[in-house]
């Protein structure tokens, strides 16, 4: 069993999908819908702005202090603002489905409601994607673990 795990890690490293020492993130394209697993450093997760500036929703997971894998997305809206939200809302979070992007819209996979990316972080409550505090520091988007920890309950019902 251990030899299989080692072989899998070697293959993932060769494909660039598993972190080498010193890297804080790696992609799981076959698990979790392509979410990137993040490892917090110094109480924050940091994402290079160049990686999230294409107008597409980028999905991430990070383990909160309570052990729940928190899923969130980052998207640069058409107005040029980089936005972040939990992949859940106040209404449908128990379904554990989150959002999918359709053009400039984020669509709730449970109820089908659609939200323009420009509304993320601006409108909260109901089925709107639950806002996630973020800050731009230099060339990076920075999210505090305290904010991710505070919203871990949104992801309680997602497949871990």
CATH code of residue 34: 2.102.10.10
Please indicate, yes or no, if residue 16 is contained in any of the structural domains.
no
38 assigned to some structural domain: yes
What does each of the 160 residues of the chain score in pLDDT, given as a tens digit? 544 544 444 444 444 444 433 334 443 333 345 799 999 999 999 999 999 999 999 999 999 999 999 999 999 999 999 999 999 999 999 999 999 999 999 999 999 999 999 999 999 999 999 999 999 999 999 999 999 999 999 999 988 7
Does residue 121 form part of some domain? yes
Total count of domains within the chain:
1
CA dihedral 89→28→142→22, nearest 10 degrees, is 160
Q: Residue 35 belongs to what domain range?
A: 23-155
b/e map of 58-97 (b: 16 or more CB within 10 Å)? bbbbbbbeeebbbbbbbbbbeeeebbbbbbbbeebbeebb
**3 occurs within a structural domain:** no
């Amino acid at each position: 069993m251990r030899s299989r795990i080692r072989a899998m890690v070697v293959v993932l490293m060769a494909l660039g999908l598993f972190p080498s020492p010193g890297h804080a993130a790696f992609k799981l394209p076959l698990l979790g819908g392509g979410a990137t697993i993040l490892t917090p450093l110094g109480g924050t997760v940091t994402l290079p702005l160049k990686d999230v500036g294409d107008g597409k929703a980028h999905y991430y997971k990070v383990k909160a202090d309570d052990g729940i894998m928190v899923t969130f997305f980052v998207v640069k809206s058409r107005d040029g603002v980089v936005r972040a939200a939990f992949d859940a809302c106040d209404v449908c979070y128990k379904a554990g489905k989150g959002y999918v992007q359709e053009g400039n819209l984020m669509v709730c996979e449970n109820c089908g409601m659609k939200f323009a990316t420009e509304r993320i972080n601006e409108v909260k409550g109901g089925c709107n994607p639950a806002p996630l505090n973020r800050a731009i520091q230099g060339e990076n988007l920075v999210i505090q673990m305290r904010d991710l920890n505070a919203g871990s309950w949104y992801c309680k019902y997602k497949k871990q």
